[in-house]
Every structure is written in C-alpha cells, then in structure tokens.
Amino acid sequence: MTTLLGIELAGRDVLVVGGGPVAARRTQALLVDGAVVRVVAPALCPELASLASRGAVAWDAREVAADDVAGAWLVQCATGDPAVDEAVAGWAHDRQVWCVTAGDVRRGSARTPATATHGDLLVGVVSGGEPDPARTAGVRDALAEHLRSGGADLRRRRRARRGGAGRVVLVGGGPGATDLLTLRGRRALAEAEVVVTDRLGPRSVLAELPPDVEVVDVGKRPDHHPVPQEEINRILVDRARRGLVVVRLKGGDPFVYGRGGEEVLACRSAGVPVEVVPGISSALAVPAAAGIPLTHRGTVAAVHVVNGHDGLDDAARTALRDGSATVVVLMGVAALGSMAAEAIAHGADPTTPVAVVENGTTDRQRTTRAPLHAVAERARAAGVRAPAIVVMGAVAAEGLLGTACGTTALHGVVDPAVVAGP
C-alpha cells in the first residue's frame, strides 16, 4: 500500500543521480523546496549545467558510487539506465534512505506525487498500484480546479496555532447571479469563518456555506438602514481581532458606490489586514444582460455613472443634453421623476430613450423602456422596484442591436406591456 507523506526537505541533503532533462526538472523542484542538492553524473544538460555554474547545486562529474548515498535524506535517480537506477535503489535500501527512481517507480521506495498548490495547501496525488502518470496528473488537475472554484471548505481549524489577528476580505459579489461571482470571490468564501453580507449580490451562495459559518446580515433597503455603516465597520474589525477570517460580501464591486473605501480605512486604522476582491459592477453587467450596449460605434463612446441618491451632476446633465455619453444611474428608482425633470430643464431632449432594468442577471430580470419625459410615470404604472439600473441615452432605444439581440429573455420573463419603446 502506497502512502503520501509530506516531507520537509528544506536545508537537507538530497542526492540527484543523472544529468538529463528529467534530473533537471526534479532538481529545480527540490531547490524550490529549499533542499541542498548534490548531482552526480558524468555530464549535465544545459539546465543543470547552468544551476551548477551558479552554485545552486554541487556537481560531481563522474559515475555514481554506493558511498554517494550515505548521508542523504532522499535520493532522486534519473539516469535513464535501468541497471544504474536499480543499483542506486539497492544502495539506498541498504542504508535506509528513501529513493525515487524516475524510470520505474517500482524500483524505488518512494514516489513523487503529481502536485498542485493552493495558497498554503499542497495537494498531491500518487498511484497506489501500477504507476500511471497521466491518470494521477488528471486527478491532480481536477482537484486543483475544485479548489480554485471555491468548492472545498478551506477554513483553518487549528486557530490556536495561527496566532495574531484575523483578516478581512471585501468581496465584490457581482450583479446578482451566483455564476457571475468571480473565482477569487468564491475562494475567499471557502476560507471564511464570518460572512458580513449585503441585501444585494449573490445571496443564494450563502446556502452553500458550512452551517457553522457566522452570517451577519447588514443589508440596507431604500429608506431603511438597520445597521449603520459605523456598526458594519465595527463588526468587521471586531471579528478580525478575534483571529477570524471575515468576508464582507457586497453586491457589484466594493469600490463602485459600495462604501468599500470606508471599510478599508476602518480596517487599516484598527491594524487589521484587509484585501479587496473586485466584482463585476452592476452598472456594467446589468445593461449588458438586458442587451443594452453602454457604448456603441456611431452612437456614443463614453459612459458616466452616477448615484441616484445624489441626483444628476453637471457631467450627467451635459451628457444628456448633447448626447456625449450614456448615463447610468445606480440606486435611482425613487429619484427617477426628479432626475428626468432636471435633465429636461437643463436642455435634454424629452424623447431621450431610457431603460430601467430590475433585478438584473437574475431569473426576475425585467426591462421597462420609455422616453425621458414619460419614464417616471411608466415605471410607476409597471410597479418598478429597486434594485434597478437606469440607463439614459440613445443606446437605451428598443431594437438598437436588432430584435433578436437582447438577452433579457435568457434571464427573466418579459412583460410586453411594460417593455415599451419611446
């Protein structure tokens, strides 16, 4: 029965027998692990010769002898000569030294696993029976992909050995669909011991967390902020100071009207390590999911994003007046009427196309279209509710890309009475 051991080789003597490309690959891996490598071979391939010339390895330019094995913690044999490999394996066996033979692993007493690293984890796969390198490499790659996608529980269990403070990871969860959460975001969630979550973003991913992960809901709704930002900052710092890995799961991108900058400053002021994982901003993703290109050759070449709570700024008013940029409004449903009136008062064409996309990228996505002068009334009649993205400008016109181009039908039911052109 073959077992897999994690062996610490840093600072320990390892003998490599052979001077060819296989020996070079094994030597380079050993050097990465910090081993003290001595190569015994009559001649060296260019890669090994370069290592020897730089003093990275010691080289004995001769045939291997039995006494070379003495004192080594591990022997890597890659001569390409079965008789020599078998002799070296026998010498290592007699001296109780582990030996890997690259030509035929059955001759040695150890096997080199197919490995993949993920953070501070090393995953290795070996064949327990007949050697099958392609098979072990395939399994290794599948396990590595599983880890990369956040599919395993990666939380640390031995907290007492970790020491020091925990850390905070601000994760941009994207516009709402779980499969638009980035791989890096999923990996962060796989390591999380506490998740502080918003109302928006991929909340369905919370059901995939282990039951003992603490979930703190600090979600805000229009005109209802049960957990002030200062309290959110305090929660992040408090949990991290307990030595926990804290993920702050936010909708969209943490730095696009997500107050992520304030949370970073709060953590840094408290001496808590903090990392930011970018997310797909709903300002960009939701219009795309509704088949609305924010820029389009021959139509418009710039985008201006505003926060609906603050109303239109000078740049947005100018863009709507002269059509120089698409205006995207986040958190703008409640202010839709006042923004439309303000834009018209500053010279915008009342027939400027406007699209309001609710629950973008989810199975409840819906798009409501109307001209600028009528969009507030049409949205009220349709019962438009937050979360929604408002797109103002020529690109919001129905059929800009052709009737078959919009992707709304892929994400939700479209009400023909609501999706009306200007």
Could you give the strand order of the β-sheet that contains 303-307, starting from the edge strand earlier in sequence? 303-307, 326-330, 388-392, 353-358, 366-371
**For residues 65 and 93, is the Cβ–Cβ distance under 8 A?**
no
CA angle at 29 for the pair 26 and 35, rounded to the nearest 5°: 100
253 is catalytic: no
CB-count burial class (<10 Å; 0-12, 13-18, 19+) for 230: exposed
Cα 246 to the center of its chain, rounded Å: 16
Active site residue: 68, 85, 198, 253, which one?
Answer: 198
Q: What is the largest CA-CA distance in the chain?
A: 93
Active site residue: 33, 60, 220, 238, which one?
Answer: 220
198 is catalytic: yes
Alpha carbon of 84 to those of 75, 87, 91: distances in Å? Answer: 13, 5, 11
- Residues marked active site are found at 198, 220
